[in-house]
Chains A and B, each alone.
Chain A
């Protein structure tokens, strides 16, 4: 955490968006323990959040749960459409929630489960500020490496040894479908979907569906 030229480095500015004021106030204090970070504002949700992104142009948007179960992905999509991209870290209940993938497609750069250690949150902010994806609870060196490695690969699913059916399953993951929704769409059982996913994880080297979706989007597997 030590920083030799701290005086000359401007702080990382952060906007906190979460429906719970108790959480926002506490999180502000938590982040204040790192002097390189500066929480510039907080909001419960839209429309305040969008206005604050526009006015304050924060380096990082910490995005938790929104009122009325609004989807973070929808908010990010609107921000992107308004020409207000912001590096976003999602604070999520579970890393494997299907809707997280959608948020990643609309520009989220990090996903941190709420049951992670506070240290993880600080590390994720460092990583995302440095332009690296952060997925999960630990330093995830696999993901950037995987993305780099795969940038040289051809954009075909066959390259990764995926069957047509496996690509169908991956398509569901990318669009944010649950296993059950995929099963219904393909007319197969939930367990078969799970088995396909395990095989796909092994083939592409992903360890959860978020990584898989990033991988797929990055490699345009769905464009086949």
Chain B
């Protein structure tokens, strides 16, 4: 057989035979609805670590072993349950339950040890949901290949990885969550949660010592709370405060 012509790119030329692996390769499941994309990604992940190092400048340790593929959310759950992978690369947009639904389902039973979202466009809500459901890496499909390898390696090593182009979305989302929590905790008269609890107990007829015992604090602390509460509510004494508590439904 005649020698094959040389490649222009170093990519194929640099493919080296797989060396013997001394430690176990990370077992990976690829979940994506496009079969040709999965097959291509599998080829990338099955490169030897020396080839990846030469081509992409990333040290991937013992490399990867693709132990399963899934083309839908439903399949993802099944494949993960039967293969127990170290890492799952998960697309969000898939038919028959989305990637995130699969992740939610897996959270109840057999989670892969690590999950990286590998997806096209991703909105802030999906991003936050993925992280809440245990994904520790988020990489956009249009990222450079070396970043995908770096993300996988980091996540397997126990770190987290969010695509830089998504971090401002993520920060905005977190900021939004903070405002939400603040809104939810807005109590009448600007009382804090603890102050509200004190008011409820005053309304229930407890004296300072009983309230202090209930919260395992000193009576002095309760007096301090009450001073602030009188100021905030505009009550002159415990009776007025108890009336306010009753009117605003503080008594439980």
Residues of chain A touching chain B, judged by Cβ–Cβ distance below 8 Å, are 6-8, 11, 19-23, 25-30, 32-33, 35, 38-42, 56, 91, 93, 112, 114-118, 121
Interface contact B44-A29, CB-CB below 8 Å: yes
Report whether over half of chain B's contact residues are helix, strand or loop; otherwise say mixed: loop
Contact for B4 among A21, A26, A38, A114, CB less than 8 A: A38
Knowing A21-B144, A22-B145, A115-B34, say if A30 contacts B40 (CB, 8 Å): yes
Q: Does B33 contact A (CB under 8 A)?
A: yes
Interface contact B33-A39, CB-CB below 8 Å: no
Q: Which residues of A contact B71 (CB under 8 A)?
A: 115
Interface contact B141-A22, CB-CB below 8 Å: yes
B144-162 interface mask toward A, CB cutoff 8 Å, 1 = contact, 0 = none?
1100100000000000000
Interface contact B36-A118, CB-CB below 8 Å: yes
Please tell me which stretch of B9-17, B107-115, B240-248 contacts chain A, meaning at least 4 of its Cβ atoms lie within 8 angstroms of it: B9-17
Q: Does B187 contact A (CB under 8 A)?
A: no
Q: Does B2 contact A (CB under 8 A)?
A: yes
Q: Which residues of B contact A116 (CB under 8 A)?
A: 35-36
Interface contact A114-B35, CB-CB below 8 Å: yes
Q: Does B54 contact A (CB under 8 A)?
A: no
Pairs of residues from A and B, 3 with the lowest C-beta to C-beta distance, nearest first: A26-B40, A29-B43, A114-B34
Can you list 29 A-B contacts with CB-CB less than 8 angstroms, sorted by A residue number? A6-B1, A11-B5, A19-B142, A21-B142, A21-B144, A22-B44, A22-B142, A22-B144, A23-B37, A23-B40, A23-B141, A25-B11, A25-B145, A26-B39, A26-B41, A27-B40, A28-B9, A29-B11, A29-B12, A29-B47, A30-B36, A30-B40, A38-B5, A38-B7, A91-B36, A115-B34, A115-B71, A116-B35, A117-B35
What is the bound-complex CA distance between A6 and B36, given in angstroms?
Answer: 26
In the complex, the chain A residue whose C-beta lies closest to that of B2 is: A7
Q: Which residues of B contact A56 (CB under 8 A)?
A: 8
Q: Does B42 contact A (CB under 8 A)?
A: yes
Q: Which residues of A contact B35 (CB under 8 A)?
A: 114-118
In the complex, the chain B residue whose C-beta lies closest to that of A7 is: B2
B41-54 interface mask toward A, CB cutoff 8 Å, 1 = contact, 0 = none?
11110010000000
What is the bound-complex CA distance between A32 and B8, given in angstroms?
Answer: 13
In the complex, the chain B residue whose C-beta lies closest to that of A44 is: B142
- A-B residue pair count with CB separations less than 8 angstroms: 89
Q: A7-B2, A29-B11, A30-B39 are in contact. List 19 more A-B contacts (CB 8 A).
A: A22-B41, A22-B144, A25-B11, A26-B43, A28-B12, A29-B40, A29-B44, A39-B7, A39-B12, A41-B8, A41-B9, A42-B9, A56-B8, A91-B36, A114-B36, A114-B37, A115-B71, A116-B35, A117-B35
User: In the complex, which range does the number of interface residues on chain B fall in?
Assistant: 20 to 34
What is the bound-complex CA distance between A39 and B144, given in angstroms?
Answer: 19
In the complex, the chain A residue whose C-beta lies closest to that of B39 is: A118
Contact for B8 among A27, A40, A114, A117, CB less than 8 A: A40
Q: Which residues of B contact A25 (CB under 8 A)?
A: 11, 40, 44, 145
What is the bound-complex CA distance between A38 and B3, given in angstroms?
Answer: 13
Q: Does B177 contact A (CB under 8 A)?
A: no
Q: Which residues of B contact A91 (CB under 8 A)?
A: 36
Q: Does B143 contact A (CB under 8 A)?
A: yes
Q: Which residues of B contact A33 (CB under 8 A)?
A: 43
In the complex, the chain A residue whose C-beta lies closest to that of B40 is: A26
Q: Which residues of A contact B44 (CB under 8 A)?
A: 22, 25-26, 29
Q: Which residues of B contact A7 (CB under 8 A)?
A: 1-2
B118-141 interface mask toward A, CB cutoff 8 Å, 1 = contact, 0 = none?
000000000000000000000001
Q: Looking at the assembled complex, report how far the CB atom of A68 sits from the nearest CB atom of chain B, in whole angstroms.
A: 11
What is the bound-complex CA distance between A32 and B9, given in angstroms?
Answer: 12
Interface contact B36-A27, CB-CB below 8 Å: yes
Q: Looking at the assembled complex, report how far the CB atom of B10 sits from the nearest CB atom of chain A, in whole angstroms.
A: 11
In the complex, the chain B residue whose C-beta lies closest to that of A13 is: B5
Q: Which residues of B contact A114 (CB under 8 A)?
A: 34-37
